[in-house]
Structure 1
Amino acid sequence: MAGTFKNIRRRVWLILNTLVVLWMLVGVLCLQVPPSTFWPAGFVAFSLPGALVLNFLFLLYWVLRRSWLLVLPLSAFMLAWSYYARLVTINFGEEVPEGAKTLQVMSYNVHVFNAYDKIVEGVPQVSTDMIDWVAEHPADVFCLQEFYSRVNSLEYNNFNRIGTRYGKYKYVSTLETDKVKANLGVVIFSKYPILIGGTIHFNNSYRQSANRAAWADINVKGDTVRVYAVHLQSMSIKSEDIENTYSAIGDEASFKKESRNLARRLRSGFISRAAQVQQLLEHVQASPYPVIVCGDFNDIPFSYTYNELAKALQNAHEKAGNGVGATYNGPLPFLRIDNQFYSQGLEAYNFQTHYEMGLSDHFPISATYVLQPKATE
């Protein structure tokens, strides 16, 4: 009887493990599918971390059982290794080569420096602390999304407080907003000269949207690097939306309403960002210089958006960071939606997520890039 029960249990666990592996395979396939073609693929890809974690737990289970059935989750683990690296990264902190030409880049969604956030106690002081932290950071290039500046404001004249005061060059891609004529959008500051810059207005119909990409060609001690500061379509999900969905559990009608609302917003975001990333990549691939593409992508590593970028470029967190690298400072944990990607001709070192600066709904990220010598040098 005990042997029969053991065989049944093993068969059940094997079936469950097989289903998880199939889930993984379907999830990986869905990463390749544009959400505009088949939007449910976005949700399946979004669930892929769950399959990766469960497969790893099955691997541990079969190892502890000393069963040859560990071959199934182990094979899946090895085949999906690059996706596990997106989930949790382990690097050993290589040192920057001595004498190398370097460029340190910081990217940060500054949440308009909390200028509109009246619920934050002591908003002017919170804003000042954040602005000063950015202005005094030792990075060479700053890519700031949801940037906010008002010329006639002591607290929020950020073109001056971050740029002019410290002798930085800048490329500005903002729209004028609110009654006090503030500037809102994306800005690139640089300690090195900016040769030329431009803006990608996604789909040409969003010229009055803060979602855009700015680019600047920067002269780094005689070499030119093109840097992009990107802000893709927001998820448009607020903390109260998530709280309302949780609180509706148990009330079938209310839960259906709230969950459908979340699903609609996610679907809309998947489709918008998929189109935006293709427009961005067309511009990136036409660059005559090595590129660094960084910003708030509003998509996790298990999305069509991220996957398309990862096909063309390397991710700085995966190459030079550690851990989960969560960048969203909000009610949903473990979300890495801010990233830095880079092309050949560069190598990433010392990637950091700056958890010490928690005054925005995003954490800043920075990396040091080594400019590789040209073949003729």
Structure 2
Amino acid sequence: MSGTFKSIRTRVWLVMNTLVVLWMLAGVLCLQVPPSTFWPAGFVAFSLPGALALNILFLVYWVLRRSWLLVLPLSACILAWSYYARLLSINFEKEIPKGAKTLQVMSFNTHVFNAYDKIVKGVPQVSTDMIDWVAEHPADVFCLQEFYSRVNSVEYNNFNRIGTRYGKYKYASTSVGDRVAADLGVVIFSRYPIVEGGTIKFNNTRERSANRAAWANINVKGDTVRVYAVHLQSMSIRSEDIENTYSAIGDENSFKKESRNLVRRLRMGFVARAAQVQQLLEHVQASPYPVIVCGDFNDIPFSYTYNELAKELENAHVRAGNGVGATYNGPLPFLRIDNQFYSQGLEAYRFETHDEMALSDHYPISATYVLQPKGAEQR
């Protein structure tokens, strides 16, 4: 009798493991599908981390059972290794070659420096603390999304506080917003000269939308690197939406209403960002210089948006970072939606998520790149 029960249990676990592997396969396939063509693919891809994690648990189970069936989850792990690297990065620190040209790039969605007091209430110094932290950071290039500056304000004239008083060059892609005519948008500051700059205005956004990309050709000791500061379509999900969905559990009608609202917002975001990333990539592919593409992509590593960028470029966190690298400072944990990608001609040696700066709804990220000699092949 015990032998029969053991056989049934093994079959049940095998079927469950097979279903998880099929889930992984579906998730990987859905990463290739533009959400504008089939929007449910975005949700299947979004769920891929769950399948990857469950597959590891099945591997542990079969190992503990000393069963040859461990070959199933082990094979899936090997075949999906690059996707596990997106989930959790492990890198050993590399020594920067002596005499190498380096470029440290910091990217940060500043949430308008909390000028509207949305993140931390009752702390009047919070915005100036954040501004000073950015201004004094040792990076060579600063890519700031949701940048905010008022010309007629000492406290919020951030072009001056971050750039001018430190002798930085800048390229600003902003539009005038709010009641006090503040500049809102994407800005690149650089300690090295900016030779040329431009703006990519996405076709599916309003003229004055903050969702856009700026680029700048930067002269780094005689070599030119093109840096992009990107802010793709926001998820448009507020912390209140998530909290309302949690609190609605147990009330069927209310839960359905809140869940549909979340699904609708996510679907709209998937579709919008898919079009924007294609427009961005067309520009990147035409660059005559090595590129660094960084910013707030508002999509996790298991999304069509991220996958399209990863086909063309390396990811600095995957190559030089450690851990999950979560960049969203909000009610949903473990979300990495801010990234830095780079092309051949560059190599990432350091990557850091600055969770010590927790005054925005995003954490800043920085990476140090080595400029490779012309003609050198990237690994």
TM-score under structure 1 length normalisation: 0.98
Correspondence 1:105-144 to 2 at 5 A: 105-117=105-117, 120-144=120-144
Matches within 5 A, 1:226-305: 226-305=226-305
How much identity, in percent, do the aligned residues show? Answer: 86
Deviations 1:34-66 (Å, cap 9, x if unpaired)? 000000000000000000000000001001111
Deviation at 1:96, TM superposition (A): 1.2
Query: 2:6 maps to what in 1?
Result: 6
Partner residue, 1:206: 206
Tell me, in whole angstroms, the C-alpha distance in 2 between the residues paired with 1:156 and 1:104.
25
Q: Distance in 1 between matches of 2:224 and 2:5?
A: 68
Aligned partner of residue 203 in structure 2, secondary structure:
helix
Contact 2:174 2:183 in 1 (8 A): yes
CA distance in 1, matches of 2:236, 2:354: 24
Are residue 64 (structure 1) and residue 64 (structure 2) matched? yes
- Asked if structure 2 preserves the Cα contact closer than 8 Å seen for 1:145 and 1:229, the reply is yes
Give the corresponding residue for 1:336: 336
* 1:26-175 alignment, distance < 5 Å: 26-117=26-117, 120-175=120-175
1:300 CA displacement: 0.1
SS at match of 1:199: strand
Code of the residue aligned with 1:348 in structure 2: it is A
Q: Distance in 2 between matches of 1:293 and 1:334?
A: 22
Alignment check: 8 A CA contact 2:145 2:229 kept: yes
Letter in 2 for 1:20: V
Q: How far 1:121 moved relative to its partner?
A: 3.4
Matches within 5 A, 1:338-353: 338-353=338-353
1:171 alignment partner, SS class: strand
Query: Structure 1: which amino acid aligns with 2:369?
Result: Y
- Secondary structure at the aligned position of 2:352 is classed as strand
Q: Distance in 2 between matches of 1:319 and 1:204?
A: 32
What amino acid sits opposite 1:34 in the alignment?
A: P
Distance, in Å, in 1 between the alignment partners of 2:210 and 2:86 is 28
Q: Which amino acid in structure 1 is aligned with residue 211 of structure 2? A: N
Question: SS state of the match for residue 215, structure 1?
Answer: strand
Question: Contact 1:124–1:155 at 8 Å: present in 2 too?
Answer: no
Q: Secondary structure at the match of 1:203?
A: coil
Structure 1: runs of 5 or more not aligned? none
Match of 1:197? Answer: 197
Counterpart AA for 1:211: N
**Structure 2: stretches of 5+ with no match in the other structure:** none
String of CA shifts for 1:202-254, please: whole Å, max 9, x gaps.
01653210000000000000000000000000000001100111111111111
Bigger drift between 331-340 and 200-209 goes to 200-209
Identify the residue that residue 360 of structure 2 maps to in structure 1: 360
Alpha-carbon distance in 1 for matches of 2:150, 2:123: 16
Asked if the contact 2:104/2:139 (under 8 Å) is kept, the reply is yes
Aligned-partner SS, 1:229: strand
Q: Distance in 2 between matches of 1:206 and 1:324?
A: 34
Q: Aligned partner of 2:81: which letter?
A: W
CA positional deviation for 1:285:
0.2
Cα distance in structure 1, aligned partners of 2:296 and 2:205: 20
Give the TM-score of the pair, scaled to structure 2.
0.98
1:16 & 1:179 partners in 2: Cα distance? 57
Report the secondary structure of 1:352's partner residue.
strand
Cα distance in 2 for residues equivalent to 1:204 and 1:236 = 15
Residue 181 of structure 1 is matched in structure 2 by: 181
SS at match of 2:125: helix
How many Å separate the matches in 2 of 1:204 and 1:335?
Answer: 25
Distance 1:33 1:114 in 2: 37
The separation in 1 between residues aligned to 2:205 and 2:53, in whole angstroms, is 40
- Quick one: distance in 1 between partners of 2:302 and 2:103? 28
1:261 & 1:119 partners in 2: Cα distance?
23
Paired positions, count: 376
Q: CA deviation at 1:375?
A: 2.4
Q: Distance in 1 between matches of 2:79 and 2:124?
A: 51
**SS of aligned partner of 1:146:** strand
One-letter code of the match for 2:288? P
Q: Is 2:296–2:338's contact at 8 Å kept on the other side of the alignment?
A: yes
Q: 1:118 to 1:332 in 2, by over 3 A?
A: closer
Structure 2 Cα separation of the partners of residues 362 and 60 of structure 1: 34
